[in-house]
Amino acid sequence: MLSNVKSITLLGLKGHLISIQVDISRGMPTFEIVGLPGTSIKEAKERVKIAIKNAGIEFLSRKIVVNLSPANIRKEGSSFDLPIAVGILLASEKVKYVKELFNESIFVGELSLDGTIEKINGILPICIEAKRLGIKNIFLPVQNAKEASIVKGLNIIPINNLKEIIDFLNGNLEIKFENNNFNMLKGEPTYDVDFSEVKGQENVKRALEIAAAGGHNCLLIGSPGSGKTMLAKRIPTILPDMNLEEILEVTKIYSIVGLTSNEQPLIETRPFRSPHHTITSTSLVGGGKSPKLGEVSLAHLGVLFLDELTEFNKNTLEVLRGPLEDRKITISRINSAISYPCNFMLIASMNPCPCGYYGSKEKACTCTEEQIRKYINKISGPMLDRIDIHIEVNSVNYDNLSSKVETEKSIDIRKRVNTARKKQLERYKKYKIYSNSELNSTQLELFCKLDEKCKRILEIAFEKLALSSRAYSRILKVARTIADLANSDNIKQEHLAEAIQYRSLDRKYWKH
C-alpha cells in the first residue's frame, strides 16, 4: 500500500515542504530511500527498522521504497526518521489513516534504537514555514516543544517515543500541550559581564560606546594584558536592545545549529562570537558540501570578535571583506545557493608590534622599525578600509584597578546608545539601513553635511596630522554618530575633532 506523510526540511534558513512517500509491495525484502538523501538519511534505515521493532511492531519483510519528494532537493539531517517510520507504519496499516489529520500535519524527529524521539535542530524555522504553508499540527520531539511554541497558532504535539505516536494516531491516547501562553520574553536582557567591572579605560569605553551607537567596526590596539579582550567581551552589553524581529532572526540561526535549549528557547542577548585565530575560512564564513553556517552568521546582529587579528591567516581575513560589505553571505554549490544573514559588528584586537610593547610604558619594545611595519602591514588596506574606529588601549595601573570608585554600568551606557540608534533609525527610514556605519557615499553627502568651518578644520587636520585619504569617509561616519550621541542634528566642530582622534592607524607614527 502507498502512504504519504509530510515533513519540512531546511535549506539555509528557509524551510521546504517535503512529502515522504512510502510504498510496500511484494518482492525481495529490501528497504530503499530515494530522492537525494544525504548520508544521515541513508543511515535512517537501520534506526527506523530497529525502532519499529522495539516499539513492539513487526517490521515487514517486504519490498519497501521510500521517496522524498521533491526529489531534486538534497536533504540532510536526522529529522526524517520520524516521518519515515510513520509512513511505513501507515503503509503497513499499523496505524489508522485519517485523511484530514495527515494532510494538515507535519512530522519531524530523530529516532533512537529504543524508539525514543530525540531533539532536532532548526525547529523554529521549520515551524515558521509550517505556519506559512497553513499546516495545523506539528508532531515533534518533546525537547523541541517549547521552542516551537514561539510560533503562535500551531497545534504542537510533543512526542516522547514511537509507541506514543502509534497510540495517538490510533486514538488510544490523548496528548495535550498547554505551554502555549508562557511568557517567553524576559524583557531586559541579562548579561554575565558588565562594563562597570572595567576600571579606568574611560577613553576606550567612550570609543566603544560610539562604535555601539553607530554599528562601527572597531580595532583595539594595545600591549598584552592591557584589557582588550575584557573590553571586547562587554560590548554586547551596551549594544542597542533587540526588537522581537531581531530576536527571532537570531533564534532561527541558533536553532539551526542546535544552540537553543528548552530552558532558553529565545536568544534575547546579542551574540558574541570569538573564534580562535586558527579558524579556517570555511568555518568563518560558512560552507562545506552541504553549506553550513559560519561564525559570521552566528554573530548576526551581534559582535564578531577577532582576537590577535594579525595572527589570523591572511586569506581567512580577506574572505571577510564581502560579508562585511554585503551583510549577508551566499554560498553556492552545484545543487543549491544558500544565503545566510551576517550583519555583525567586527571588533578586532591586535598588538602594536611583534613583541607587543611598542609605545608601552611598562616595557621597552625590542622590535625594529622594519618588523613593526611588516607586522602592521599584515592587515590589508581593504580590510582596514572597513574598520571605522582604531583605538589604542593602555594598561591600567594598579591604583586604578584596586580603586573602589563607582564606574558606569552597562545599562546606563546602553540607554544613551539606544537613543542615538533611534535617531538613526528615524533618519534612515526610507533607505533600508539601520545605522551610520552602513551609509554609502551618496547617503554620506546627504546626511553628513559639513559647514565651511568644519570643512576647514578637516582640511587642516589632514594636512597637519598626515592622515591618509581613506580616513575621510570613516571620520564623517563616526562624527555623525558622535553628533547623534550628543543629540545634535548637524555635525559640529567638536564632533569632527573627536572622530579624528579615533583614527590611530592612519597616523604618521605607524607608517614610519
Cβ closest to another protein, residue 328 vs residue 373? 373
3-state secondary structure of 103: helix
Show the site string, 447-486: x = touches another protein by CB under 8 A, - = not: ----------x--xx--xx----------------x---x
User: Rounded to an integer, what distance in angstroms lies between the CA atom of residue 228 and that of residue 251?
Assistant: 28
Q: If you ran DSSP here, which 8-state letter would residue 238 be given?
A: G
Q: Which is nearer to another protein, 150 or 500 (CB)?
A: 500
- Which range touches another protein (CB under 8 A), out of 17-25, 134-142, 197-205, 422-430? 197-205
Q: Considering the rule CB under 8 A, would residue 232 count as an interface residue with another protein?
A: no
Cα–Cα dist 264/189, whole Å: 12
Residue 313: is it exposed, middle or buried by C-beta count within 10 angstroms (0-12/13-18/19+)? middle
- Which residues between 275 and 294 bind another protein (CB under 8 A)? none
Q: Please identify which residue in 352, 448, 471, 481 interacts with another protein, judged by CB under 8 A.
A: 352
C-alpha cell at 447: 546626511
CB of 206 to another protein, least distance (A): 4
Cβ distance to another protein smaller for residue 135 or 391: 391
Q: Of 246, 295, 438, 498, which lies in the binding site for another protein, with binding defined by CB under 8 A?
A: 498
Burial 100-124 (b: 16+ CB within 10 A, else e): eebeebbbbbbbeeebbbbbbbbbb
How many other β-carbons are positioned within 10 Å of the β-carbon of residue 338? 21
Chain centre to alpha carbon of residue 416: 25
Considering the rule CB under 8 A, would residue 230 count as an interface residue with another protein? no
Q: Which residue has the cell 539555509?
A: 12
Cα torsion through 429, 430, 436, 441, rounded to 10: -170
Nearest distance from C-beta of residue 309 to another protein, angstroms: 17
Q: Which of 7, 201, 297, 436 binds another protein (CB under 8 A)?
A: 201
Considering only residues 353 through 372, tell me which ones interact with another protein, judged by CB under 8 A. 358-361, 364, 366, 369
Select from 360, 353, 143, 174 the least CA-distant residue to 264.
143
Out of 206, 321, 378, 415, the only residue in the binding site for another protein (CB under 8 A) is 206
CA-CA-CA-CA dihedral for 13, 346, 304, 508, to nearest 10: 150
Q: Does 510 bind another protein (CB under 8 A)?
A: yes
- For position 343 contacting another protein by CB under 8 A, the verdict is no
- Chain-centre distance for alpha carbon 282: 15
The residues, ordered by sequence, that sit 6+ positions from 220 with a Cβ below 8 Å of its Cβ are 204, 228, 231, 232, 347, 348, 349, 350, 391, 393
Task: Encode 59-69: b = buried (16+ Cβ within 10 Å), e = exposed.
Answer: beebebbbbbe
Residue 205 CB, nearest approach to another protein (Å): 8
Helices (H), 260-320: 281-285, 295-298, 314-318
Q: Strand 337-341 vs strand 328-332: parallel, antiparallel, or unpaired?
A: antiparallel
Nearer residue to another protein within complex by CB, 370 or 489: 370
- Residue 388 interacts with another protein (CB under 8 A): yes or no: no
Smallest separation (angstroms) from another protein to the CB of 182: 44
**Minimum distance between the CB of residue 394 and another protein, rounded to whole angstroms?**
5
The cell for 445 is 553627502
Minimum distance, C-beta of residue 210 to another protein, in the bound complex (Å): 9
* 310 touches another protein (CB under 8 A): no
Q: Using the rule CB under 8 A, is 497 a contact of another protein?
A: yes
Whether the link from the prior residue into 141 is cis, omega within 30° of 0, is no
- How many residues in the shown chain lie near another protein by CB under 8 A? 39
Strand partners, 22: 3, 66
Report 65-94 residues binding another protein (CB under 8 A). Answer: none
Member of 202, 325, 326, 451 binding another protein (CB under 8 A):
202
The yes or no reply on residue 400 touching another protein (CB under 8 A) is yes
**Does position 19 bind another protein by CB under 8 A?**
no
| Residue 196 is a binding residue for another protein (CB under 8 A) | no
Is residue 398 a contact point for another protein (CB under 8 A)? no
Give the residues lining the site for another protein (CB under 8 A): 200-203, 205-206, 223, 352, 358-361, 364, 366, 369, 391-394, 396, 400, 457, 460-461, 464-465, 482, 486, 494, 497-498, 500-501, 504, 507, 509-512
